[in-house]
Each structure stands twice: as structure tokens, then as C-alpha cells.
Amino acid sequence: MTTSFKTDVLIIGSGIAGLFAALKISEFAEVIIVTKKNSAESNTNYAQGGIASVLSSEDSFEKHIQDTLIAGAGLCDYLAVKKMVEEGPARIKDLIKYGTEFTKKNGQLDLVKEGGHSVSRIAHTRDFTGREVERALIQAVMNSNNIHLMENNIAIDLITEHNLLQLRDIDLENRHCFGAYVLDIASNKVNKIVSKATVLSTGGLGQVYLHTTNPKIATGDGFAIAYRAGAKIGNMEFVQFHPTSLYELNHQIDKPSFLISEAVRGFGGKLFTRDGNSFMQNYDDRKELAPRDIVARAIDNELKKGGEDFVYLDITHKSSNEIIEHFPQIYQTCLSKGIDITKEPIPVVPAAHYCCGGVVVDLEARTSLNGLYACGEVSMTGVHGANRLASNSLLEAIVFADSASSSIKKLIKSSQISSIEFPDWDDSGTLTSDEKVLLTHSIKELKNTMWDYVGIVRSSQRLLRAQKRILNLKEETEILYKKTKVFEEILELRNLIQSAELIIFSALFRKESRGLHFNIDYPEKDDTKIINTILRNESL
Ligand SMILES: Cc1cc2nc3c(=O)[nH]c(=O)nc-3n(C[C@H](O)[C@H](O)[C@H](O)COP(=O)(O)OP(=O)(O)OC[C@H]3O[C@@H](n4cnc5c(N)ncnc54)[C@H](O)[C@@H]3O)c2cc1C
């Protein structure tokens, strides 16, 4: 039996974006947060470096705006960047008010510099900033009487007019989101949560790829859910790959690859092929210190040329003490896997890291569906354009979560919770254990296809090949989905496939190379085509 919950605001996801939005909204309304695992399991929890903002007298809004625009390779939305930068300092103060303890030096925030930033402006908590932010926000949420947090609840689909026979024909421009169908994993029951406003803050999609720094939750649910409901999705071709994640022979495909921070190269780390040849001088004068996308492409090329699975990053020429002092977490993690980085090189491989595109929103974090908001990595606000500047994503998440809150405050004053009787979820069906095994195979096939054909360096032929394979997987999975009672793995597989399809569509659409998207058939930037790739499910 389906249970119906009603609330002012439903928030889907408990990373920095969802928790921050919940805290802001709880000042004037009742909130339910649903999150598919435990509340802390999120990309946020893994963020190491920190959060960028203009917090010192040597910095200025103009400098941060310029750095962001340069990284974005011509596709940033200037007003969105300006908003993020100008509202950043106030939102960092909010984080501190909610209990985040940033690292300090002489009583002031210890601001550090990262690639692409012209000034030291990254606030951090040693090398575990995300974990500290997540801890503080969860604690603040627990202290609020207006927020009800439902763990192990996975959103399946949004409730919109297309769930109602009598309203199904309403055109896409006038559709509303009335809440969501949510699977309670413990009881295996699908419930309805009806709300005046819904905030999608489901994070990224790194799990689409074989190698990713993203945890298991990053299965692209929000992109797929929004697309299925008819919301506009943009710029999905711009997936950022981190050049150096730890390569492990027995890599479990749903586990994140451990990030070997850029700071190791900044500290003098050198890249070598397995047969001992340095190669970065062949790609860029800045060698190992070239920007992330150039280093990732160079490694990818060397791997393809040599048919190898990894290259080496070597820091052994530095003193052991210095290495251990600068990189305690990296040292310990590698040591636990049998690699002493003070004595031997680290095997590394690029890994999918961040999705710059997403659900299209305006400056108030409103999507193209009435009543549906999006913030954090799942959204496309326009601040990243074709490439994200390091440490801007946590900032974007809190600035636009705050905007969503202000906009929702206006919206819910004048709106009622819908009194329409939405249908219960059709929960019939079964799946045999044989069929469950097929899901594991499908996930492997998807990840390998995306890694081999839709990775760092693309070609039109590879993209078309990937499109065919993904379409096959989609058809097979839809057949299983239709005959089964829903469960977590099939929902995630379906969302992974949908997200992969969106990336491929967008990549095929862009007939140039720009920012993170590189196609050998169109290797140049084409400034006559400075446009966003916008997709919408017209079949509804
Ligand atoms: C290793 C690593 C290091 C990083 N370092 C930095 C950094 O230094 N600085 C920076 O700015 N950015 C960094 N990033 C990027 C940044 O961490 C993320 O972009 C950001 O944390 C995203 O926050 P979010 O709230 O949008 O999503 P997340 O933090 O990923 O949260 C998403 C939430 O949604 C839930 N969810 C997903 N699908 C569903 C569903 N169907 N139903 C219910 N719940 C669902 C998840 O369980 C999770 O709670 C890093 C990322 C990684 C992986």
C-alpha cells in the first residue's frame, strides 16, 4: 500500500546543496529531505581541496569572475558567474554559522591557491573540506524542528501532469512538478510525497564511467529523473576528468577511485609511462603543471598509444618527511594499498570527476518545470560553461541553494499543496535472480562503453558506436524494468543509461572542440557556434 506524505518542500539529496537549501527553507517552511543512502554519503563528503570565494583584501570580485570565465572557455553565463562570486562571501559566512570549521592561520581563514585561480582564495579544512562541511550541515539539520530527513529513500520519478490521464496533454511549457514517487528501500514500498515545491539536489554522474572519483551514489539519477519529466537539460558533453586517480588492478567497478590531488604535481610530481619515458613536454610547455584537461588528454593519449592501463606519477625525489607532511591522506591511503609513495611511483589513471552540464536553471534555481528547482552538481546554472574552475562547485551549490530558498519563499506564499489525487505507483511484477545477474553485466558494459568511446578524447565514429550500444542496453533494461517490482539497482541502472545517452547526444551535437569536450574530427574551437546544447524529452 502506498503512503502519501504532504509537505511544503521536498528536497531530493543530502549533499551540500540539499542540506544547505533545507536549512535556509526551514526558516519559513516545513521540509522533507529524501536521500538514497545514509545522509552523509555524497560527492560532497569526498571533496578534498576546498571552496573558492573572495575572502581577502588582495582579491576582488572582478578577479574571481575573470578566472571563472577563462576556465569556462566562452560558455559561461556572465550573470550567473557574477551572482555566484558576489554572493559567495555571505554564503561562506552561513557555512561557518552552521558550524563548519575551516582551517585558520593566525586567526584568519587559511586561504590557498589552486590551478586557474589568480589569487589565494580557497577556504579549506585541511584536505577533508567536504567531510567537515557535510558533518556540520547534517548536525544543523538534526537540530532543526522543521526538517524531516528520510534516509534510504530513493526518488524514482517526479509527479507531473503526465501521471494523470486527464492532464497528460498539457504542453511542456506549462507543466508542474507536484512532488515525487519515492522507494523506501527498507520496507520495499513506493510512497508518494506531494509538495508545493521540489528541489533536485542529487549530485553527479561519475558512475557512468569505468574510472571515477565519485562514490557509488553518483548514478546520474537527477539528470534522468528531470529529463523523463520533461525538464530542459544542458551541456551534458562537458564532463570533467581528473588526470590522476589511483590505479588499482583489482578495481571494483562501483567503488570510487582515490584522488591523487593536483597538489602532488604542484609539489614537483613527474609523470612517466610504464617504460620510464616522461611525456608531458610533448604536449604543453608547462609540462605537469598544465591545466587539468590538457594533462588528462595527454595521459589518455599515452595510454591509448601504448595499450597500457596506467602511467606513473613520481614524487620520490622529494624527502620522505616533506611528502608525508604535505600529503598525509594520500600517503596513508597508498600505503594501505601496498604503495609507499616516498619510495615508489604511484600508478595513476584519469577518472570522471564532475559534470558541468545538468538541469537548466535560471538565476533563482528554477528549472523549466513549474515548482521544480535544482541546485548543486545536478544543475546547469551557467557558472561553469565548458570547464569548471577548481573549487567553484561547492560555492555554486550554496549560492544557488540559497537562491532556490528565496524563490520558494515567494512561491509557497501564493500556492497550495495540490489536492489532486495522484495515482499510486504500480508496484506489480517480479524479477528472477537470473535476471538480476544481467543488471551487473549491463552496468559493466555501460561503464566500459562510456570509458572507451565517450571519454576524454572523442571521435564521431566512437560516439555513434557508443550510441548504438547504449540504445541496446536501454531497450533491454526497459523490458526488465516494465516487468519488475522496482528496486534500487534497476532504478540506478536505468538512470545511468539515461545519463549516458544524454552525454552522447550532446557530444554528437557539438561539432567543435571546446573546454572539456574534445572531438578529433572537429579539433578546433568554432567561435561562430558559442551555444549551449539543450535537450528536452519531447516524447511526453
Ligand atoms: C573526490 C572529489 C573531490 C572533490 N573536491 C572538490 C573540491 O575540493 N572543491 C569543490 O568545489 N568541489 C569538489 N568536488 C566536487 C563537489 O564535491 C561536488 O560537485 C559537490 O559536492 C556536489 O554536491 P551536491 O550536493 O550537488 O551533490 P552530492 O554531494 O553528491 O549529494 C547528492 C545527494 O543526493 C542523493 N541522491 C542521489 N540520487 C538520489 C535519489 N534518486 N533519491 C534520493 N537521493 C538521491 C545522494 O545520496 C546524496 O545524498 C569534488 C568531488 C569529488 C568526487
| 407 and 267 together in one domain | no
| 443 and 384 together in one domain | no
Quick: pLDDT tens for 196-239. 999 999 999 999 999 999 999 999 999 999 999 999 999 999 99
Residue 217, domain member (yes or no): yes
Ligand 1 centre to CA of 456 (Å) is 21
Quick: pLDDT tens for 489-535. 999 999 999 999 999 999 999 999 999 999 999 999 999 878 999 99
Residue nearest (by alpha carbon) to ligand 1 atom 13: 47
d(CA 348, CA 338): 14
- pTM given for the model: 0.96
404 contacts 12 by C-beta, under 8 angstroms: no
| 193 and 81 together in one domain | yes
With 70 as the cut, is the pLDDT of residue 433 above it?
A: no
Residue 261, domain member (yes or no): yes
Count of the separate structural domains present in the chain? 3
Nearest to 217 by CA among 523, 470, 476, 13: 13
Neighbouring CB atoms inside 10 A of 171's CB total 9
The CATH number assigned to the domain holding 203 equals 3.50.50.60
| 69 and 208 together in one domain | yes
Residue 540, domain member (yes or no): no
d(CA 373, CA 23): 16
H/E element, 12 = strand 4-12
Q: Which residue has the higher pLDDT, 129 or 427?
A: 129
Phi-psi region of 211 (alpha: psi -120 to 50; beta: other; left: phi over 0): beta
Residue 427, domain member (yes or no): no
Residues with Cβ within 6 A of ligand 1? Answer: 12-18, 34-37, 41-44, 46-51, 129-130, 154-155, 201-204, 213-214, 217, 221, 259, 354, 376-378, 391-394, 397
| 205 and 309 together in one domain | no
Residue type (1 letter), 240: Q
Residue of 111, 393, 491 with the most ligand 1 atoms within 8 Å of its CB, for mutation: 393
Side-chain half-sphere CA neighbours of 326 within 13 A: 19
- For residue 450, what are the domain limits? 433-527
The CATH number assigned to the domain holding 347 equals 3.90.700.10
H/E element, 496 = helix 488-509
Last residue of a domain, one of 310, 326, 352: 352
Residue 422, domain member (yes or no): no
Quick: pLDDT tens for 353-392. 999 999 999 999 999 999 999 999 999 999 999 999 999 9
Mean pLDDT is highest, among 79-83, 285-289, 292-296, 527-531, for 79-83
| 311 and 391 together in one domain | no
Residue of 394, 395, 396 with the most ligand 1 atoms within 8 Å of its CB, for mutation: 394
36 contacts 205 by C-beta, under 8 angstroms: no
- pLDDT at position 162 is 86
- pLDDT at position 24 is 98
**pLDDT grade, residue 432 (50/70/90)?**
low
| 344 and 363 together in one domain | no
- pLDDT at position 431 is 67
15 contacts 398 by C-beta, under 8 angstroms: no
